[in-house]
Structure 1
Amino acid sequence: MKSSWYSPLLVLCTASIANSIKLCPLMGPSWPAPTGLSTDPTITTALQNVTTTIQQAISAGNLSSNSISLQIFDAKDPNTLFSLSHTAAEIDTTIGVSQVDENTIFRIGSTSKVFTMLLLLIENGFFPMQDPIAKYIPELRQAAIDNLRNSTEWEDGIDFTKWNEVTIGELGSHLAGIARDYAVLDLTEQAPMVEELGFPALPESQVPTCGSNNPCNRKEFFKGLVQSRPIFPTSSTPVYSNAAFQILGYALEAMTGKDFQNVLAYDVLKPLNLSRTFYNTPDISLGVVPDSDGQKYWNFAMGDETPAGGMYSSAKDMATVGRAILNSTLVSPGITRRWMKPTAHTSSLGYDVGAPWEILSIGKKRPIDLYTKSGDIGVYSSVLALSVDHGVGFTILSAGNNTHSTVALASDLISAILIPALEQSAKDQAHQRFAGTYSLGASNSSITITTDNGPGLVVTNWINNSDMLNAFMALNGISDPSQLSIRLYPTGLESPGRISFRAVVPPPLPSGIGPFTSSCITWVTVDSHVYGNVGIDEFVFNVDQNGNAVSVSPRALHTTLEKT
């Protein structure tokens, strides 16, 4: 028989339950990514707020001294979701543009590393990531052999890098423990000044023969790099390294038998029609050139270190690259999912490292990861930021003084407005698509699904001859009805006309003061109760051509309930 004492109580508690228990959502989106963002009222309001906020920051002088070009983009919309450009007064219009727009070219600094990793994935996927770099770089292979043959070097872990241990994946994730650079910005270039500060004069043999003013060729680079001391053992802690990506550029050439520029053009520039993205220095008339040091840094040659930080691009092109990554246009979705994962923590709890991502975790009700890559080179700075959960990203390019702070501030301002709006839009659309009561004809079987002030879709009533909410309480060791919350989260598994969700029930947590008692363990409980080899937490919605649910199947019950 139907147990009627419980369901009304749960309905009354739904509005407040998200505040009374720790919901512990799964890592990932709470609802399917929102669509039609260009006409979504929540998003259009948010974009108006972004415009006002950025313009106010410019008027207040916080951003006005730098030229800026920014775009917010939706992976599913080829048109720009939002575009804003600002031209600083202090630019040289005799050699560069007089007005900044979405096609204006900036230097993007270390955001170039995104292109390098993307090329490696296009060419070989993740298969080489565990390969030792010595497999592809003869200079490092010889250094590894020399290290193994010399017992003194092999036992000396402080002065000699164990190149036989360094992998491609560690280089891409800043986990190789090697030097940040070789010769670039070496203080010997400012010898008189640093000697006055107390540094000893160096013999000529210890002064790099190449560097910032004359980029090292391959021979010079590896000769100096193998003499550089390690910073940490491999896979110990992330330590930023431009040299790692110069090595990866050489490895890509070894894998493909082509030079980096040709691979870039064939794999990315031509397929995406990127007409404003360059490996070599483009015509200066296409770019924005700050009065102070603009021409110097526009022409600043990085040679073989370009894969680490020397490329040029526009906001429109960077948005196109962001869309391609989110849409898995150039690699398979499986590779993209593996790429969009942390590989190491930093000492900041909301800041992890990927390949080459700088991953910022934001959000109050659940962690939302932004996969970002920023870059600086002289008077130019950039950032590319991707919200995988929402299929949305933004890019900001800046030129002028203190541009790193400008890009960071603008990124904060955009994120603070955009991410909550995307969450709200996703929830609103999920409510419209999936919320309602589903039943099976005249039988005593029905389920009611809605949304509330917490994450996911919420089951408020569920009958299958008897009350399934009681069953979930019993199976999850919950005795207090107010502590039961059944929430459905999208799994990302879809087929034509069908979309998969999993139900998550936060288990009762003991009182405690530390991580063993307070951490979310819902990820452990997924698929923990199965009936006939089918998880009782598996739900599949059948949707119409507009993506709206017409029925739902709790798979373990072998029934399909029609939306009423």
Structure 2
Amino acid sequence: MTSRTEELLPGTQRALLHRIARAQTEGRAPSLVAAVAREGRMVWTGSRSCVDGHAPDADTQYRIGSITKTFTAVLVLRLRDEGLLDLDDPLEKHLPDTGVGEVTIAQLLGHSAGLAAESPAPWWERTPGTLRPELADVLGERPVLHPAGRLHHYSNPGFTLLGSLVEAVRGASWEEVLRREILEPLSLDRTSAQPVPPHAGGWAVHPWADAMLPEPAEDLGLMAPAGQLWSTAADLCRFAVFLDEGDEKVLSAASVRELRTPSVPPEAGQWDGGYGLGTQLARRGGRTLVGHTGSLPGFLAGLWVCVEDGVAAVALANVTSGPLVGAVAADLVSIVADAEPRIPEPWRPLPEVDQELLALTGPWYWGANTFGLKLAADRGLELHPLRGNGRGSRFVVQPDGSWKGLDGYYVGETLRVMRRPDGSVSHLDLGSFVFTREPYDPEGDVPGGVDKEGWRGLPS
């Protein structure tokens, strides 16, 4: 048993170690390694092994399976940000002659393209990729099972197509583009398409006996963008920080937020989870988690980030089935966030105050509904209801002087400050909704007008 800590309280450290020890024992994993990052850096690692004195550490490689998909999604978003494609483009526009080219890039990223979950037999995870040398071999004779855009249906061949899309647009192999555009800029030096020592071997454990069987580690060929990668707990912690904060060397914070945004509604009975663009989403204990889980024969992997708490966790095991490492990683996030809540940043006044914007702040009324308009630190505006739950959003100024909604009900909508001929503010126009300084202000251009007799009591 090994453990390395920085800054976490002793009680938190022990709770983390207890959780992974229980997972390794109850899940009968030959080994399990985990790590936690907080506020942008790794603060704890721990491991358990069935062999005394040979516990892995945060630098030991494990296969991470479908966490690979998140890396592929980042590559696709980079192409979009460079203007080389649009997420609403049909695949056919950039990768012709696949037979499924009418589906969009966004649908492939969010698993709503309606493609089959797996490639035709034999099972692709346990056989060499040379058995599927062409995309037609990956897609098979019936690649589309559902109408595109209608529901979430997880598809490994869909991410094979995305990897081939990256290759077609970049003119280089998926592996080379990945190394050049993500691994090197983020210093993920121990993440690779092929295992590099020290690395764990993959095992299956007999369901009814404490006996083990080695699993093959195949090169997945064209299926690599769906699950090929090997990585370490330390590297995945760095990647988790990127999924929280973004990094201009790879992908902006705004584009990373797109990865974390739900792409299709969850199915009935699954309202505690969802899928973004190459990321899984989950709700646990009142927290929103973003990340991905992964599995390939001999390996299980889980990575979760809670953006609100600034905590991320990774768990890796070298066993085909056993410990639910996705749940383990989620529990590690909760242990740290519950035991050591994020300490708020000190309040500080604005560095400068725009008097014209300041004059817009305060109460506004949509009909008789009361809203507050607040000036944010980044020169943005925040509009929120002052009573109960209602429609609210943050806004950022546009070059023409209007404001664009960033989130909430008014995301993408336009807020305009409407002025009278003398330059004074008459009202706010938000997607045709009129906000005035007084409830149903007759001078605020209220749609439908305002009764000339004004407010009144109950007639006697």
1:222 aligns with 2:136: yes
Contact residue 108 and residue 382 of structure 1 kept, 8 A? yes
In 2: Cα distance, 1:534 partner to 1:408 partner = 54
Contact residue 477 and residue 507 of structure 1 kept, 8 A? no
Residue 82 (structure 1) aligned to one of 44, 54, 61: 44
- The superposition leaves residues 404-441 of structure 1 with CA deviations (integer Å, 9 ceiling, x where unpaired) of x430341342233234456x434xx25x5369xxxxxx
In 2: Cα distance, 1:174 partner to 1:226 partner = 18
Residue 301 (structure 2) aligned to one of 362, 365, 382: 382
Residue 265 (structure 2) aligned to one of 319, 323, 345: 345
Contact residue 202 and residue 297 of structure 2 kept, 8 A? no
Counterpart residue number, 1:301: 219
Deviates more, 1:327-336 or 1:107-116: 327-336
Counterpart residue number, 1:410: 328
Contact residue 358 and residue 372 of structure 1 kept, 8 A? yes
More helix by share: 1
Counterpart residue number, 1:119: 75
Contact residue 289 and residue 304 of structure 2 kept, 8 A? yes
Counterpart residue number, 2:200: 287
Change (3 A) 1:254 1:102: same
User: Structure 2: which amino acid aligns with 1:360?
Assistant: A
In 2: Cα distance, 1:525 partner to 1:138 partner = 37
In 1: Cα distance, 2:192 partner to 2:17 partner = 33
Contact residue 50 and residue 413 of structure 1 kept, 8 A? no
Counterpart residue number, 1:504: 384
1:494 aligns with 2:378: yes
In 2: Cα distance, 1:307 partner to 1:534 partner = 55
SS in 2 for 1:231: coil
In 1: Cα distance, 2:254 partner to 2:48 partner = 38
TM-score by length of 1: 0.59
- The superposition leaves residues 233-292 of structure 1 with CA deviations (integer Å, 9 ceiling, x where unpaired) of 000101000000111111110000001111112112222232221112435x53245475
SS in 2 for 1:267: helix
In 2: Cα distance, 1:411 partner to 1:475 partner = 45
Contact residue 136 and residue 254 of structure 1 kept, 8 A? yes
Counterpart residue number, 1:175: 112
Counterpart residue number, 2:342: 425
Change (3 A) 1:371 1:242: same
Counterpart residue number, 1:4: none
* Superposed displacement of residue 180, structure 1: 1.2
Contact residue 38 and residue 311 of structure 2 kept, 8 A? yes
In 2: Cα distance, 1:133 partner to 1:310 partner = 22
In 1: Cα distance, 2:274 partner to 2:23 partner = 31
- The superposition leaves residues 171-202 of structure 1 with CA deviations (integer Å, 9 ceiling, x where unpaired) of 1110110111212555xxxxxxxxxxxxxxxx
1:71 aligns with 2:35: yes
SS in 2 for 1:128: coil
The count of corresponding residues between Structure 1 and Structure 2 is 381
User: Structure 2: which amino acid aligns with 1:310?
Assistant: Q
* Superposed displacement of residue 211, structure 1: 8.2
Counterpart residue number, 2:174: 260
Counterpart residue number, 1:139: 97
* Superposed displacement of residue 64, structure 1: 5.5
In 1: Cα distance, 2:190 partner to 2:17 partner = 28
In 1: Cα distance, 2:19 partner to 2:122 partner = 34
- The superposition leaves residues 206-253 of structure 1 with CA deviations (integer Å, 9 ceiling, x where unpaired) of xxxx88434256654415625215221000101000000111111110
Q: Note the 1:127-526 alignment, pairs <5 A.
A: 127-140=85-98, 143=99, 163-186=100-123, 212-216=126-130, 220-223=134-137, 225=139, 227-283=141-197, 285-290=198-203, 295-297=214-216, 299-329=217-247, 330-347=250-267, 348-364=270-286, 368-400=287-319, 402-403=321-322, 405-421=323-339, 424-426=341-343, 429-430=344-345, 432-433=346-347, 472=363, 477=368, 494=378, 502=382, 504-507=384-387, 520-522=390-392, 523=408
SS in 2 for 1:272: coil
Contact residue 126 and residue 297 of structure 2 kept, 8 A? no
SS in 1 for 2:184: helix
SS in 2 for 1:245: helix
Change (3 A) 1:390 1:99: same
Between the aligned residues of both structures, percent identity stands at: 19
In 2: Cα distance, 1:211 partner to 1:107 partner = 12
User: Structure 2: which amino acid aligns with 1:400?
Assistant: V
In 1: Cα distance, 2:30 partner to 2:272 partner = 28
In 1: Cα distance, 2:289 partner to 2:409 partner = 24
User: Structure 1: which amino acid aligns with 2:44?
Assistant: F
* Superposed displacement of residue 132, structure 1: 1.1
Contact residue 132 and residue 138 of structure 2 kept, 8 A? no
In 2: Cα distance, 1:331 partner to 1:504 partner = 30
SS in 2 for 1:323: helix
Contact residue 75 and residue 326 of structure 1 kept, 8 A? no
Change (3 A) 1:87 1:335: same
- The superposition leaves residues 316-362 of structure 1 with CA deviations (integer Å, 9 ceiling, x where unpaired) of 11112222333322112221222221101222112111111110124
Counterpart residue number, 2:447: none
Change (3 A) 1:135 1:70: same
Q: Note the 1:28-39 alignment, pairs <5 A.
A: none
Change (3 A) 1:230 1:264: same
Change (3 A) 1:251 1:224: closer
* Superposed displacement of residue 295, structure 1: 4.4
Change (3 A) 1:58 1:391: closer
SS in 1 for 2:46: strand
Contact residue 357 and residue 371 of structure 1 kept, 8 A? yes
In 2: Cα distance, 1:473 partner to 1:398 partner = 55
Instruction: Please identify the structure whose Cα radius of gyration is greater.
Output: 1
TM-score by length of 2: 0.70
* Superposed displacement of residue 66, structure 1: 4.3
Gaps of 5+ in 1: 1-36, 91-96, 144-162, 187-209, 436-463, 479-483, 509-518, 537-555, 557-564
Contact residue 61 and residue 230 of structure 2 kept, 8 A? yes
* Superposed displacement of residue 62, structure 1: 2.5
